[in-house]
Amino acid sequence: MTTVTAEPYWQNIFQRLLGELDGRNSPDWHADEASLDPAIYLDDERFAREQAQLFRRFPLCLGPADQLREPGSVMARDICGVPVLMTRTRENTVKVLLNVCRHRGARLVVEEGEPCRRQSLVCPYHGWAYRLDGSLAGVPRAEAFPTLDRHLTGLRELPSAVRHGMIWAMLDPAAALPDMASFLDGVDGDLAAAGLGSHRFYRQSTSRRATNWKLIVEAFLEIYHVTRLHSGTIGPFFADSVSVSDPLGPHIRFLAARDRTRDIRDLPPERWTLSEHGTLVHYVFPNTIIIHHPDYLSHLGLFPIGPGETLFVHSMLTPSLPRDDKAEAHWARSFDLIDRGVFAGEDLPICEQIQRGLASGANDRLIVGRLEQNLKRFHASLDQALG
Ligand code: FES
Ligand SMILES: [Fe+2]
């Protein structure tokens, strides 16, 4: 079980959460109601601008580096239309490459979303071979290419880094990766304090969802629905509609009160824990959600395919690898509850229903109340980047 103490890092936000339990003290309770234009979820032109100005210009979190556990691991995934190949080289370095042969463009690794082991990357079309760092290792009938410079003909690499155990990359090979600590702003310290980097990859689910990616982000930014939509699953573990939030640069920190949050009144601050007394959620701009469950973490990567279609990738991270069958059964049950029961069973169907509802033209505006102020923060971040 993760035991992350509240003192001193989380003490302030827990104190504010207690204040919310006692009364409605957050500035959100003085905010104006707002509304959102359904067109932002439907419009092709908006989608194209998001692709160009968000998904090609900012680092995206592609998932846990620990999923590529051993040197020689490779995994292909199409991210926002870009064929990406992640590898762990023999030198134990994570590389993010384009999964596109430099000869005539065939795909090197065809299996998608499944880590596999490779000595080298051999193109199925004419057999050009690449090392896992992307360098060109061999060309059959090389005499047919008398002027080919092998050193200049490696796979295109995407700028990337591993921070907090996660792979971050730019989808544009010509873009520069910003300093990740600066980019993550206040989230960087939170993720360090929560120990994200020491967690291990446990399991992943991937599905294509008939909904705009922003509707999924929004489902993880407000507490209002949790005791209602999730009344048959996780709802009873939460207080009704009590949370505190902070914008951290373009990102958001969001702490939701649980049924046991009240207990901290009788405990010294050093015993206030994320594992028992609150559920922390981070939105990392533009398309990442990290949920700090009582004894494991969920990373959600939301990769748009079209205005009404999103690749949803959920990775579960645990404090350690399962040491025995009992631990494995425990994590398997947790994954099943959250991934199948809550996300696939409750949140994502609602998002898909909303997408269809918006397309019907029924709502000319979507109404955002005081418990949903993070939606305003989220859209303000997007609007700023979209100009
Ligand atoms: S396209 Fe890859 S070897 Fe020809
Ligand atoms: Fe939910």
- Number of domains observed in the structure of the chain: 2
For residue 118, give Cα distances in angstroms to 73, 88, 360: 6, 10, 48
- Burial class from Cβ neighbours inside 10 Å (0-12, 13-18, 19+) for residue 370 reads middle
Q: Among the atoms of ligand 1, which is closest to the Cα of residue 105?
A: 1
Place of tokens 């490696």: 154
Distance CA 307, CA 96 (A): 26
Bond prior to 268 in cis (omega within 30° of 0): no
The alpha carbon of 363 is separated from its chain's Cα centroid by a whole number of angstroms, namely 29
Enter the ipTM: 0.98
**Alpha carbon of 38 to ligand 2 centroid (Å):** 20
Q: Which residues span the domain enclosing 293?
A: 11-57+180-386
Quick check: 19 and 25 in contact, CB under 8 A? Answer: yes
Q: Is residue 376 part of a domain?
A: yes
Q: Which one of 131, 150, 169 terminates a domain? A: 169
For residues 242 and 370, membership in a common domain is answered with yes
Mutating to test ligand 1, I would choose from 125, 130, 145, 155 the residue with most ligand atoms within 8 A of its C-beta, which is 125
Same domain, 186 and 269: yes
Residues 6 or more apart whose Cβ sits within 8 Å of residue 237:
258, 259
What is the CA(82)–ligand 1 centre distance, in A?
18
Shared domain for 224 and 159, answered yes or no, is no
**Does any domain span residue 315?**
yes
Among the bound ligands, name the one nearest to the CA of residue 129: 1
Given the structure tokens 């047919």, which residue do they identify? 144
Write the residue with the smallest CA distance to atom 4 of ligand 1.
Answer: 126
Which residue has the CA at smallest separation from atom 3 of ligand 1? 126
Q: Residue 4 domain-assigned?
A: no
Dist. CA 243 → ligand 2 center (Å)? 14
What are the Cα distances from residue 126, in Å, to 46, 93, 119, 131? 40, 28, 18, 16
Kindly give the number of the ligand 1 atom that is closest to the alpha carbon of 106: 1
What is the CA(224)–ligand 2 centre distance, in A?
9
At residue 26, the pLDDT reads: 87
Same domain, 205 and 339: yes
pLDDT of residue 270: 86
Which of 116, 147, 169 is the last residue in one of the domains?
169
Rounded Cα gap, residues 92 and 110, in angstroms: 23
Q: Map residue 302 onto helix, strand or coil.
A: strand
Instruction: Name residue 255's beta-bridge partners.
Output: 244, 280
Residue 205 lies in a domain: yes
Q: Tell which one of 102, 120, 128, 155 to mutate to probe ligand 1, the residue whose CB is within 8 A of the most ligand atoms.
A: 128
Probe target for ligand 1 pocket from 103, 120, 136, with the most ligand atoms within 8 Å of CB? 103
Nearest-CA residue for atom 1 of ligand 1: 104
Task: Report how far residue 284's alpha carbon sits from residue 302's, in angstroms, rounded to the nearest whole number.
Answer: 11
Supply the DSSP symbol for 149.
-
* Dihedral Cα 329, 335, 336, 341, nearest 10 deg: 150
Whether residue 101 is found in the same domain as residue 238: no
CA of 58 to the centre of ligand 2 (A): 26
Residue 300 is part of a domain; what is its CATH number?
3.90.380.10
Q: Which atom of ligand 1 is nearest to the CA of 104?
A: 1
How many angstroms is it from 229 CA to the middle of ligand 2?
A: 7
Distance 107 CA to ligand 1 centre (A): 8
Of the bound ligands, which one is closest to the alpha carbon of residue 136?
A: 1
On the 0-12 / 13-18 / 19+ scale of CB atoms within 10 A, 167 is buried
* 18 and 133 inside one domain: no
Which atom of ligand 1 is the closest one to the Cα of 101? 2
Distance 350 CA to ligand 2 centre (A): 9
Q: What is the DSSP letter of 3?
A: -
Per-residue pLDDT tens listing for the chain (387 residues): 445 554 478 999 999 999 999 888 888 898 988 999 999 999 999 999 999 999 999 999 999 999 999 999 999 999 999 999 999 999 999 999 999 999 999 999 999 999 999 999 999 999 999 999 999 999 999 999 999 999 889 999 999 999 999 999 999 999 999 999 999 999 999 999 999 999 999 999 999 999 999 999 999 999 999 999 999 999 999 999 999 999 999 999 999 999 999 999 999 988 898 889 999 999 999 999 999 999 999 999 999 999 999 999 999 999 999 999 999 999 999 999 999 999 999 999 999 999 999 999 999 999 999 999 999 999 999 999 999
Please list every protein residue whose CB sits less than 6 Å from any atom of ligand 1: 101, 103-106, 123, 125-128
Cα-to-centroid distance, 92 and ligand 2 (Å) = 37
Task: State the pLDDT at residue 275.
Answer: 87
For a ligand 1 pocket test, name from 97, 102, 104 the mutation site with the most ligand atoms within 8 angstroms of its C-beta: 104
For residue 58, what pLDDT is reported? 98
Which residue, among 126, 124, 132, 274, has the nearest Cα to 196 in the 3D structure?
274
Q: How far apart are CA 201 and CA 224, in angstroms?
A: 30
66 contacts 165 by C-beta, under 8 angstroms: yes
Question: Who contacts 15 (Cβ-Cβ below 8 Å, separation ≥6)?
Answer: none
Contact 264, 245 (CB under 8 A): no
pLDDT at res. 24: 85
Question: Do 274 and 382 have their domain in common?
Answer: yes
**Residue 290 backbone phi and psi in degrees, to 5:** -125, 125
Closest ligand 1 atom to residue 108 Cα is 2
Which residue among 129, 147, 169 closes a domain?
169
Q: What is the reported pLDDT for 1?
A: 47
Do 111 and 161 share a structural domain?
yes
CATH number reported for the structural domain that contains residue 161 in this entry: 2.102.10.10
